[in-house]
Amino acid sequence: MEKIPIKDDSEKQLFDALKEACDGIEFSSFEVGVSSESLETKYKIRQKSIDFVKSTFKSKHDSENFESYILVHFDRGFIEVTPTNVLVEGFYNKFSRDIAQTFHYCFKCRGRGCKKCNKTGKLSEESVQELIEKITLPLFESKESKFHGCGREDKDVLMLGKGRLFVIELVEPKKRSIDLKNLEEEINSKNKNKISVRGLKFVEKQRVVEIKNTPFEKIYSAKCLCSEISQKELETLINKKIKIFQRTPVRVEKRRADKKREKTAKILKAKLINEKEFSLEILSSHGLYIKEFISGDEKRTEPSISSMLGKECVCKELDVLEIVI
């Protein structure tokens, strides 16, 4: 945040600097810290600052649950005010196969721009995070956001059903009293056929930990390709609960620990589209890589749809139908 100078040691200058530093920032509670070599000065300045901010901004002093932290660097002659982050929880749907969940720099050029990323410097031209940010950052007067999802889907995977649980964390916002229903409507109206959000509400930091650490089953719809297949062969897969041992897939091994994990899946539906294409509806445990469960991923996933059918199969198209919450 901006450093507001204290021009001299007078009480008036302290109060003027406090007012300038806090103006334009919404907060109903605050804490004050003072940096000074003199303990006596530190105590005196802190108490004067608390009294002034309480009366001027009609705000409560709370040393544990504060919305703004006011730091008076008395010996160095300036004041900084840092608003605490605001967290908004909701569900999102994604209707495009060209939108990632979060912003990521291009792995090749690391943001500089290259042929691989079409000079954008990003892995994906758009992301759920950025589409929500475009509306939320100006409203909250926040400089950036952190996006916390209940898992993630690949860029080319649709997120349907009731949506995926997420928390967007607005960093150091100057505004806090935002009407979330209006925010929801604005995000949805400006992102038709791309994303939608619902159920927006303010939450505490602990909610991020809960979302990250809670496993959820998922229902997927997968369109698959095979050399040749029949409906009779597909019906051998239906309603079997399958125990799967899956080693970290080749496509993500550079950014994920190479481990073998035990997962489960159940094929709810299997339908022939034509002699070389079929669709599956799969109920899977948390963290199962579905594309690799279909292909086998060079036998890193066992068993797989390919091994159970005795034919090489690949996932052509994948959608998340529902996250079972």
Q: Which residues are catalytic?
A: 154
The encoded tokens of residue 25 equal 């920032």
The rounded distance, in Å, linking the Cα atoms of 222 and 268 is 12
What are the residues whose beta carbons fall under 8 Å from the beta carbon of 299, sequence distance 6 or more? 307
Rounded Cα–Cα distance for residues 290 and 297 (Å): 11
CB atoms closer than 10 angstroms to residue 270: 22
- According to DSSP, the residues that pair with 122 across neighbouring strands are 105
Environment class of residue 50 by beta-carbon count within 10 Å: exposed (0-12), middle (13-18) or buried (19+)? middle
Q: What angle, rounded to 10 degrees, do the helices at 39-57 and 11-22 form?
A: 50
233, 309 contact by CB (below 8 A): yes
* 324 backbone dihedrals φ, ψ, rounded to 5°: -80, 100
Q: Is 187 helix (H, G, I), strand (E, B) or coil?
A: helix
What are the Cα distances from residue 307, in Å, to 90, 168, 298, 302, 314? Answer: 39, 41, 11, 8, 12
